[in-house]
Amino acid sequence: MADKRGSRPHPRGRRPAGENTRAALLDAARAEFTERGFDGATVRAIAQRAGVDAAMVNHWFGGKDGLFVAAMEIPVNPEEIVHRILDGDPQQAAERLLRTFLSVWDTNGGGALTALARSVASHEQAAQMMREFLSGMVFGPVVSAVAPDQLELRAALCGTQVLGLGMIRYVIRLEPLASAEHNTVVAAIAPNLQRYLTGVL
């Protein structure tokens, strides 16, 4: 189109050390995977968003798959989340757990959860990551600290309620839960979740 020379946007060759192409690709990949899922996101779009060439994906991550696993490292610190949930009365752990998830998901309108659902349903790799993350990093530690028995079953049950809430509220967007205040959601769901944590099954 623009035949006029003179403004080449990206000169070739090694860039100054301060510009970190790898980090830019990771940021762009998180955004694109979040918005379009694994299949929908294209290597070219990610590279363009990062302001670099698509070949850099291969150079730094070996391909689209490598970029995906590198980018989907959970940004929030699970240990901090678990600590917040466990700090206080164990009989109110469910309420704190719910408020924590609601806050995290609400920050970006559930976009991250939508992307996660897409990736999990489309990619066995993502399903395995989700499996390990849920049981190992979040519900596992919480259940270990507050539950009397059947730790694995309780952790999985908590997963059903929390993930289901996320799907209905943020992905399906079914009213009135989609627009409900945090207090309303907590009042309705926390008692059930508390039974999974410490109640009799």
Partner DNA sequence: GTCTATACAACGATAGAC
Partner DNA sequence: GTCTATCGTTGTATAGAC
List residues near a second copy by CB under 8 A.
37, 39-40, 114-115, 117-118, 120-122, 127, 130-131, 134-135, 152-153, 156-157, 159-165, 167-169, 171-177, 180, 187-189, 191-192, 195-196, 201
What is the DSSP code (8-state) at residue 108?
T
Residue partners of 127: CB distance under 8 A and separation at least 6: 120, 121
Look at residue 195 and give the partner it binds from a second copy, DNA, none, a contact being a CB closer than 5 to 8 Å depending on partner kind: a second copy
14 is an interface residue for DNA by CB under 7 A: yes
Minimal distance, residue 52 CB to DNA, in Å: 4
Angle subtended by helix axes 124-132 and 111-122, to nearest 10: 120
Minimal distance, residue 13 CB to DNA, in Å: 2
Minimal distance, residue 93 CB to a second copy, in Å: 16
Distances, alpha carbon 189 to alpha carbons 34, 138, 177, in Å: 27, 18, 11
CB closer to DNA, 16 vs 176? 16
Minimal distance, residue 116 CB to a second copy, in Å: 8
Look at residue 10 and give the partner it binds from DNA, a second copy, none, a contact being a CB closer than 5 to 8 Å depending on partner kind: DNA
Kindly write out the interface string for residues 41-80 of this chain, putting x where it contacts DNA by CB under 7 A and - elsewhere.
xxxxx-----xxxxxxxxxx--xxx---------------
CB 43 within 8 A of CB 54: yes
> Token pair of 38, please?
């694994």
Alpha-carbon Rg of the chain, whole angstroms? Answer: 21
CB 39 within 8 A of CB 122: yes
Q: Write down how long the chain is.
A: 201
